[in-house]
Structure 1
């Protein structure tokens, strides 16, 4: 089993994932269920109504604000 060694090679910063690949949009519409699940909440009528209002206010990008 490999172990960490002082001075061992580390991933170079230029190997970071490009920003264009980090977005959650898949080209499909975001549903209230998607928004609720992205927050880690249960799918209850109250949470679904909150998510619907959030999508109505913020548009399809609402989920982008919830996910890293």
Structure 2
């Protein structure tokens, strides 16, 4: 049985993904369910209402603020 060595396949200059390649959204509409899940909450009626209010006040940026 072989052991996995993730660093073995990396080149010396391959340290991390550049910021310009990282994206929080795919360009599609953001749903309340997306916001609830990004916040790490359960999909409950109360949390969905919270997410709807958050989207109304912050727009799609609400999701960006929750994701790293």
Superposition TM-score, scaled by structure 1 size: 0.74
* Count of aligned pairs: 64
Structure with bigger gyration radius = 1
Aligned to 1:18: 18
Dislocated runs of 4+, deviation >6 Å: none
What CA distance in whole angstroms lies between the structure 2 residues aligned with 1:52 and 1:64?
15
- CA distance change for structure 1 residues 12 and 33 in 2, over 3 Å: closer, same or farther? same
* Residue pair 1:23, 1:64 contacting (<8 A) in 2 also: no
Computed over aligned residues only, the root mean square deviation of the Cα atoms, in angstroms, reads 2.4
- CA distance change for structure 1 residues 14 and 30 in 2, over 3 Å: closer, same or farther? same
Unaligned runs of 5+ in 1: 3-9
Deviations for 1:2-49, whole angstroms, at most 9, x for unmatched residues? Answer: 7xxxxxxx9656642111222211010110000000111110111000
